[in-house]
Structure formats: structure tokens, C-alpha cells
Structure 1
Amino acid sequence: MQDDSPDWNVLNRRRVLGLGAAGLAGLAGCAGGDGDSTGTEAPGGGDSTATETGSDSSSSEMSGGRLRIALVKSPLEFDPIILNDVPSAQVTQNIYDGLYEYDAGTGFVPQLATGSPEVSNGGTRWVVEMTGDATFHNGDPLTAEDVKYTYEAPVNEETENAPEVNMIESITVVDETTVQFDLSYPFGPFQHALTGSTLGIVPQSVRESDRDAFNTQSPVGSGPFEFVDWQEGNYVRLQRNDDYWGEPMPNLAELELVPVEEATTRVTTLRNGENDVIEEIPPKLYSTVRGISDASIDEVPGIGYFYLAFNCNEGPTADPMVREAVDYCFSMDQAVSSYVEPTGVRQYSPLPRSLAEDWDMPLDEWEQIPHEKNIEEAQALFDEAGVPMDYQWRIIVPPDDKREQIGISVSNGLKEAGFDNVSVQRLDWGAFLDKYVTGSENDYNMYTLGWSGTPDPDAFTYYLLGRTDDVLGQTNGTYWGANSDVGQEAAQKFVTARESPDYEERRQLYIEGITTALEERAHLPAYNLKNSFGVKEYVNDFTSHPVDSFHIATNHNNVSVDR
């Protein structure tokens, strides 16, 4: 999932992480992301009891007032069938309701649904009962027909969101408040696809009357806030839906989201009160924000993964011995400590730590796989692999200081190993995304990137390291497996795991596949970012969230302002 930069991923733009906080799942990406969620069933979904934080959101008296949040990038569109960037999702999660939503962590709680899905037919049939009370902002009732339309549209219209729901074989409207999903295989993480983070339910009749207007001028949902207006690059304004069918009724009367790209400027707007909340605090500015007397930092590790990847298609890095040599050239621990902390944490596998812990993955074993810096070992492996000292190394990075510094750390290590011709090229997002998927040695040997997904191992394995038609040449820019038998075997394990309803089988397949990927060094895992926000002291009950970035009026919080 893309987070806060204009980087599109051809397969699924929302998952490629941009400059800031790790993002939304689906829109951006571990049960109990902050370690505090309760009642989450491992793996594969299930119900979870919402964790109550702050005030009693269901009984708080509405305080009115306006909350102004500074985002890192501008939203682009507001139709959940189409939108695929995190800033847009940060807006629309307040406009649309989903069948389910996340609690304070990553447990599932009903939103439009009245209870847990009824799962049968070996995990291929999911039946959801919905409330009959929900209405859209225009007063029309929300029915099972709207749900069917919403989940069929991404595939029918071939939007970038199609891979999120293309495992659905058919959808049946049982009655006005009951919808039946039949899957082509027992997709383990399907409950994540039923959340509003993946798809908020849209009114078929309104959207079909003018899709373009629905996307950019007059989106209509059933959520706690209604769209008022926006100017791209300047602001988005929402107002409380005073006829909201659900609970809680928002305390806030207005919500305004404004893009402020430059980090120092964002912090200044927090200090002077121009903005009440600011998103994404860079490492060098943590102490500055902590020094603001009437503000604090609210943060939680996101559901994300940042990494150094290799061109496994062409050039010396197609050889796992060379990839291991690169690992010896620098210390990823040191690079993360110097350039990422405290805005992020070291990560040793594709899975965010909270997700890995939830699935009881062998983290201790995985943490032992990367090497400490040892230039002599690196030189010996380069020599054994036959890499000439005059080889021209190309490392490409997106426009992000943290990832550029990771690339520079690798470059410095290669130079210490004796290579003089090493370049780190910082590209704008368009140029970067065109290059990293080519598999051409002339374009790159290594790149740095990030990924956001739903809190399930499938989101961080199948899309990044799989070898099916819907990911080859798209996210699988490393091309690992094209010339590696073990890579192909691991990729197949990720496919098998996503098609199994059995938790233990899935867990074992992920352990085997991820361990192989780490040992083969298709990626060198680097870090995960926190969803971090600077918050004025007069803002009550604001909650950062591991999947959705932040929550305003939900099952576990209800923001108010007390100026």
C-alpha cells in the first residue's frame, strides 16, 4: 500500500509504502500492533473484543468543534473501488462503513455486520448478516445489493484493488440484509477483505449515476462523517453526519485534513496551533516535538515492512553468494539505529514483529540470519563469485531520506570492499517504480522499498515473493525464483498457504518459505515504521492505529477538542 507519497504500484498501489508512517491494510499494513489489543484469535481472523481507550466513546457528550490534521501528502480521490493511496484512505475511512472494522489493535468487530461471519464449505463460503438500520448520507438504505456491487466492482472494472477480492467466485444476495460470498478457494485471510479498510460499502445507484463525480466531487457513504469539499493539495473538509445510523455519534462537528509535505513546517504548524494533529514525525524531529509544552506524541508500530532488495534476474546479485557478500559489507542494525530510530524499529523478516509474534514465528532464529559487518568475509565471497573490482554497482532508492541512507550504507560497504564504481541514485517515485520492476542489470542491482498490508502473513509473502501471474513483474521486482529452484519452491509454499483454511498448515508453510527467502537473501529486511502523530493537549481521545493510521470516531475512541 502506498502511504503518503505519490507512488503507484501497478498491481496494488496502496501497498507500496511512501515516506511516512506505515500504512493501511489494503489501504496500506498484526494483531495487537501496539501489544495491547485483546481477544484476537490467531491467525486467520475471528472475533476480538474492542480495547477501550480514553473516554467512554459511546456516552461522551458531543463537544462540536473542528479538528485539523496535517497529513504528509494530499488525498487524490474518494471512491473506495478505485482509490489506492493512503492519504485518500485516511479521509474515506471516516466517510464509508465496512462490514467489519478493526478494534484498537487488529481484532475484528462488526460494523455493518451484526456478528461473526458464518463460514462453511471448507472455508469457501462466508455468510454475513447485516443490520437493517444503516443508511447512506442521502438517506437511502444500505442493502446487501450494495455490498454485492461494492465487492464485484474492483474485478469488473479491473481496478488496482481487484487482487484484494479476486478470490471471490460469486456473491449471492440472500435477502436485503444477508450476503453470501463463495470463494474459489479457502482464502485464509478473507476476513480482512471484509473490513472497511479494504472496501467501504458504496451506494450502487449513486455511484453508477456518475462515477467521476462520485470519486472527486460528491462521494456518498454511510459513515460518521460526510464529505463537504476539497482542493487537491490544500484541504479536505468533512462534517459530522448528524443522522448517523451507528455508534458512536462523532463528538467533532468538523474534520479538516490538510497536506503539509515538509516535515519541519508540519512541526511548526503544531507548535503554533495552526494544526491540532500532525502526521509522521521524522527521527531528527522527535526531540523537537517532545519539547513542545502543550503537545505529545501518539504512536504505534504500523503493519509494514521496509527492506533492501536485490536484482535476482540479471547481474552479480542473481548469485546468492554475492547477496551474502553484500550482507557482510554493512550492518543493517547500525544503519537502522543511525537513520531510522526512534521513528521505526529494526525488523528481521518480512512480517512485522507483532504479526510474527501473533503467529508464533521463529523470530530468534530469523534474527540470527543476517551477518554483522565483516569486510574480509565480503571480499572472499566476491572473489569466489568472480565479481571484478571494476564492476559498476547501481543502487536505486525512492525520494526518502531513511531509505537513501540505507542505500548509502551499502554503497560505503562496497567501497570498503574495494569497489570504486558504486552509485546510489535517488529517483522520483515515477522513475523509481518504472525501474525497480524491469529486472535489468543496467537499471539496478539493488533497491530499497517498503510495503504495507493486512495483518496476515499472506500480505507480506504472496505479493512480494510469489510467482503467480498477478504478481510477476509487478511487486516481485527481485525476480527471485526465476533462476532458483528453492525460490520457486518457497514461492509455491506462499501460494499453498493462502489457499489453506488450516492455521497450523499455513504457519508451517510460512516458516519454511520465509526462512528460505532470508537464507537466500532475496531481501535484506530493514525496519518497520511507527504510525506517529504530534497531538495538541486539548485534543482528547485521538488514537493512532497499526492498520488505519489513526481513528476518529470508532468502536473504541471518539475524538473531541477542548480549547
Structure 2
Amino acid sequence: MGRGIRTSAAFAAAALVLAACGGGSDDDNGGSSSSGSGSAAEADRSATLRYASSTAPPGLDPHGSITAGLNGSQYIFPVYDRLTMLGTPDDPNASEVSPMLAESWEYSDDGLQFTLQLREDVTFHDGSPVNAEAVKASLERAKRSTFQAGAALNRVESIEAVDEYTVQLNLSAPDATLPAALATGSGAVLNPAVINDPGVDLNLEVPPEAGSGPYVVSAFEPGVSVTFDRAEGEYWDPEAGQLAQIEIVGVAEATTRISGLQAGDYDMIFLASLQVAEGERLAANGQFTNLTAVSRTPTAIFIKPDSPELGDQAVRAALAQAVDREGIGEGALNGSCDPIDQLYPEGMLGHDEDYENPYAYDPDAAQAALEEAGAADLSFGIVYPAGGTQDTITTALQGGLDEIGVTLEGQGVPPAESITVFNQQGFPAATNAIPGEVDPALFTTSAIFSRTPLAADDAELVALADEARAELDPDARAELYQQINERVMEQAILIPICTAQFGYAGAGDIVGLDRLGLTYAAAADFRYVGRS
């Protein structure tokens, strides 16, 4: 017998992917306070919604670069159903994975086959069936991607359509990340007719027949905005698609988003950490609704272990001791960034409630350690995304390190360029956020191997990551990720600082805001959101 789940069970797939840290509590799902709850039955299906995001849609290819990540998923989830679903329909931000196009899935006893049983009642918007052949074509396309969508499937050797609604993935090694990976762009299912059309570039246009999701793209200006209209016909999930139209506009300036909401230019806006209190104030008068969410996107100092300035582990450890997490989160960010002293945030497999960071805040000890390491006059450059939370954090870091004689030379760059600049230019450090994920293997890749490629030279870290990805038992897997955390913290390859709160403010007639998805990734999935 294989190891698997059925939809009648209360997500036994969590045993394959996630810890028993569970979903459903406010701490786990990211929603610390909200208003605007309501059922789909209350929604006005002719209503529209204009949302001002902090980022603009760069493209709409689910297997592309930026849109494959969870933050970019807000632009592709309305159009493309995935094989699995992040969270649950009642709680889209829960720390688990649920069925979507796949009703069930299971691993073989040796973990080298992963078999999915598909729903049989789903069609693309041209009426063609979402069947095993369509899934096979989509997964093969995703696997060819040189971006995140392909990396998540790099243990898939081949894909078979066993019968009309059964798909088998043959693996080079067991891969416990698959249920979670197939809930992202990697698992988005595209119409084979679109895949096989060489004239279609999904980063420029999305034909109505491309997906099977509750919406179709009616207008798209890359880098500016995208408009979704509810697809014609009956959708297989009656709770989804409550709005007649959704427009997502990229508005970088927080003050512009807030003033636009007050002026009626937008129906809902995203609020970064420093604007969370403003959302609560707007909701206090009853005119607007508000949601405050704790993300799973910690901000950290990323370090190149082989840089001349920070190549010595003793120097990196001293820097870790000099970071005042409480002061930054509570002071510089006005309580909108919760201190974190380990790699994995609360609610994720690998988080250890009993963990004690070996480099707790102690500026005197940090200064003494730097002197002992011959780095009393340490000076180094750090790059960060300009104009946002990391800008404020870097300024606070500069002040704190200056007190122990360390000169931090910060350089802000456009947010979309910050990681590229760090990896390709001579900066030994970067202040940036780890992209929110559900599965710890995907999170580890984002936090360590994608952001600091030289971590791949740490043989112990690489071996632990490979072993953890292949481990299907949740308890054993949790222990491995705790070992990864201990290794990363001990070597101070990365210094976590705090996990930001985000907010959303909107018109008072918005319903289902408590079912807004992707909030832990600083994004918004309006699948179950409507207006009364």
C-alpha cells in the first residue's frame, strides 16, 4: 500500500508536508485581527473590486520567474487552478495543503512514485477537459522552466497519464515537498491548446481558454495592472468567484494607496508594516474594513560566508550578537515586526519553541568578540530594497552597529533588483525578506540557497537539506529542519531579525476578508472574497 490521503480525511497530507503545528488558530493562519467577515451567500455577484497592491504584475506565466513565487501568485491564482491548494477553503492561510484539482494523492512505499487522482468535473474555459493529459503537459512545461517552477520539480524524472484522471510522477528520490509545490505556480494546469500555440506569450497575453480558474484576464498592462472578469458558466467550486471583476493595480507608494482608498480610487489596499496602524485607524470609524496579518516572511541579514569582511565565523557571530531584534521590531517599526531568532517562523515545520539562539543580543560581548577576532574597526557594505521595511531596518542596524564601532555602509536599490545586486556585485551582506512559503524545503531554498548561493559549499547543510526533503515522516522531518536551523544560526550565514505584520484596508461592504488568501506572503488571493 502507498502512503496517501483522501478528501474525507482531515488533511493527512500534512503528515507528508507539514508539522502537526496545525492550521486554524490566528497564530498559524496569519490573521491577528480582522473585520469584513461574511459568507458567499451575502455577496453581490455583480460587484467589482479595485485593489492597490505594493507590486505590479510583471507577467502572467505561472511557470515564469516572478509569478512562480507566492507574492506573484496573486496574479495567476484567479486564472489557473492548481493541483493542490494552500491552506483550506475556510482558512486559506492555514499551515497545510488541501485538495484542488487533485482529489487525493499518495506516495509509493519507496517514495519514488507520487500518484494523483483528479477531479472529473473540471473543464478549461473552451470546454475541453482538465484531465491527466492536460496535467502531464502542464507539469512537463513547468519542469522545463529555468525558474522556481522548474526547480520545485527537479526530482521529477517523468510524468505518466495512467488513465484519463490519474497522473503518476516518477521521482529520482523521495520528495516530501510535492503537495505544497503543486499548490503554487509549479502545479498550475494550463490548457494544452495554449501550451502548444507558439504564438502565445503568457507574459504578454492570457487567452480566455488558458486556464480553468474562476476568472479570465480581460485586460493586462505588464508592470502596471491586470483586470480579471469572472468566467462564464458554472465553476466547480461554488464558493469561489464572488466578484464580477477584480482589478489589481501596482502602486509602490504607501501614502498614494492610502489616499486613493480614502478618495474612492481603490476599494482595497495593501498596507506594509509601517502602515498597519493606519489601517486600524481607518477601520475604527466604521467606514472601512481592516485585516492585520502576521506574515511568514522574516526579514534577515543575508551574508556571503566567503566575503573578505565577513568570512570569519567569529565575526559573523559577533554581528549576530549585536542585532537588537526587540529594539528594531518594537522601536524602529512601532511594534509591527515580531522578533525572530531562528530560521523557521512560527507555524512552519522546523520551528522550535524551545530553541535558544547561541548569539542572543549582547552588544558588549559582540564588541569584545570583534576585538578578539581582529575586527574592531569592521566596515562593510550592505544592500537593501529602498523605501520599505528593510530600509527602516537597515537604518536601525546602522545605528546599533555604530555603537560598537562597526561601520555599515548601506545602499538602497529598487526592490526588484536587490537580490540580483547582492548575488552579482561585491556586497558581503544584504537586508531582505525571505519569501513566504508553506513547506520548509521551499522556504529553505528561498532563505539560504537562492539568496546566498555560496551556502551550497557547506556540505553539512546541503546534506541535511537533501535528507529533509526526502523524509516523508513529519516528526523525523521536523528534527532535520531543526538541525538545519541550528547549523545556519551557528555559522551565522543568515541573521534573522523580525517577522513583519502586514495589513489590508478596504470598503466597508467587503465580505469574506477573513478568507483572503496569501496574506502570509504579503499578497492577496480574492478567491473567496466578495462585496455585499
Which TM-score bucket, shorter chain as reference?
A: 0.7 to 0.9
Task: Name the structure 2 match of 1:399.
Answer: 386
Question: SS at 1:252's partner residue?
Answer: coil
Question: SS at 1:302's partner residue?
Answer: strand
How far apart, in 2, do the equivalents of 1:430 and 1:107 lie?
Answer: 29
Displacement of 1:251 in angstroms is 2.4
Task: Name the structure 1 match of 2:524.
Answer: 550
How far apart, in 2, do the equivalents of 1:437 and 1:61 lie?
Answer: 47
How well do the aligned residues superpose, as a CA RMSD in angstroms?
Answer: 2.9
Task: Name the structure 2 match of 1:408.
Answer: 395
How far apart, in 2, do the equivalents of 1:95 and 1:537 lie?
Answer: 26
Question: SS at 1:491's partner residue?
Answer: helix
Task: Name the structure 2 match of 1:179.
Answer: 167
The reply on whether 1:225 has 2:239 as its aligned counterpart is: no
Question: SS at 1:69's partner residue?
Answer: strand
2:43 and 2:511 in contact (8 A); partners too: no
2:153 and 2:186 in contact (8 A); partners too: no
Read off the aligned partner of 1:377 and give its amino acid letter: A
1:205 to 188, 193, 216: 193
The reply on whether 1:109 has 2:79 as its aligned counterpart is: no
How far apart, in 2, do the equivalents of 1:353 and 1:153 lie?
Answer: 34
Displacement of 1:262 in angstroms is 0.8
Identity between Structure 1 and Structure 2 (%): 21
The reply on whether 1:247 has 2:233 as its aligned counterpart is: no
Residues paired across the two proteins, number: 497
Displacement of 1:388 in angstroms is 5.4
Question: SS at 1:493's partner residue?
Answer: helix
The reply on whether 1:349 has 2:342 as its aligned counterpart is: yes
Displacement of 1:62 in angstroms is 5.0
With over 3 angstroms needed to count, the CA separation of the structure-2 counterparts of 1:276 and 1:451, relative to structure 1, is: same
Task: Name the structure 2 match of 1:520.
Answer: 491
Unaligned runs of 5+ in 2: 1-9, 30-35
1:424 to 399, 406, 410: 410
Question: SS at 1:317's partner residue?
Answer: coil
TM-score, normalised with respect to structure 2: 0.85
1:379-404 Cα distance to aligned partner (Å, 9 max, x none): 32122111253x54222222243223
The reply on whether 1:560 has 2:530 as its aligned counterpart is: yes
How far apart, in 2, do the equivalents of 1:503 and 1:288 lie?
Answer: 38
Displacement of 1:559 in angstroms is 2.5
How far apart, in 2, do the equivalents of 1:431 and 1:96 lie?
Answer: 27
Read off the aligned partner of 2:62 and give its amino acid letter: P
Question: SS at 1:365's partner residue?
Answer: coil
Unaligned runs of 5+ in 1: 1-37, 466-470
Read off the aligned partner of 2:79 and give its amino acid letter: I
How far apart, in 2, do the equivalents of 1:179 and 1:348 lie?
Answer: 41
Question: SS at 2:310's partner residue?
Answer: helix
1:43 and 1:456 in contact (8 A); partners too: no
1:204-244 Cα distance to aligned partner (Å, 9 max, x none): 11232135444322342101111111223443111111214
The reply on whether 1:316 has 2:309 as its aligned counterpart is: yes
Displacement of 1:149 in angstroms is 1.1
Read off the aligned partner of 2:358 and give its amino acid letter: I
With over 3 angstroms needed to count, the CA separation of the structure-2 counterparts of 1:175 and 1:39, relative to structure 1, is: closer
Displacement of 1:430 in angstroms is 6.2
Displacement of 1:160 in angstroms is 4.2
2:504 to 521, 533, 550: 533
The reply on whether 1:363 has 2:372 as its aligned counterpart is: no
Question: SS at 2:266's partner residue?
Answer: coil
2:42 and 2:511 in contact (8 A); partners too: no
With over 3 angstroms needed to count, the CA separation of the structure-2 counterparts of 1:509 and 1:213, relative to structure 1, is: closer
Question: SS at 1:161's partner residue?
Answer: helix
With over 3 angstroms needed to count, the CA separation of the structure-2 counterparts of 1:108 and 1:276, relative to structure 1, is: same
The reply on whether 1:266 has 2:257 as its aligned counterpart is: yes
Read off the aligned partner of 1:45 and give its amino acid letter: V
How far apart, in 2, do the equivalents of 1:401 and 1:174 lie?
Answer: 49
With over 3 angstroms needed to count, the CA separation of the structure-2 counterparts of 1:87 and 1:496, relative to structure 1, is: closer
How far apart, in 2, do the equivalents of 1:194 and 1:284 lie?
Answer: 33
Question: SS at 1:314's partner residue?
Answer: coil
Q: Quick check: 194-203 or 207-216, which moved more?
A: 207-216
Q: Quick check: 378-387 or 428-437, which moved more?
A: 428-437
With over 3 angstroms needed to count, the CA separation of the structure-2 counterparts of 1:157 and 1:362, relative to structure 1, is: closer
Displacement of 1:186 in angstroms is 1.0
With over 3 angstroms needed to count, the CA separation of the structure-2 counterparts of 1:99 and 1:161, relative to structure 1, is: closer
Question: SS at 1:303's partner residue?
Answer: strand
Task: Name the structure 2 match of 1:98.
Answer: 82
Displacement of 1:289 in angstroms is 4.9
Task: Name the structure 2 match of 1:153.
Answer: 141
1:265-287 Cα distance to aligned partner (Å, 9 max, x none): 10111122221110133414623
2:58 and 2:203 in contact (8 A); partners too: no
1:504-533 Cα distance to aligned partner (Å, 9 max, x none): 332222222211221222211112233421
Read off the aligned partner of 1:107 and give its amino acid letter: E
How far apart, in 2, do the equivalents of 1:209 and 1:41 lie?
Answer: 36
TM-score, normalised with respect to structure 1: 0.81
**1:250-329 equivalence runs, <5 A:** 250-284=241-275, 286-287=277-278, 289-292=280-283, 293=285, 294-329=287-322
Task: Name the structure 2 match of 1:335.
Answer: 328
The reply on whether 1:77 has 2:59 as its aligned counterpart is: yes
Q: Quick check: 45-54 or 185-194, which moved more?
A: 45-54
1:97 and 1:196 in contact (8 A); partners too: no
Displacement of 1:179 in angstroms is 0.9
Read off the aligned partner of 2:432 and give its amino acid letter: L
With over 3 angstroms needed to count, the CA separation of the structure-2 counterparts of 1:445 and 1:107, relative to structure 1, is: closer
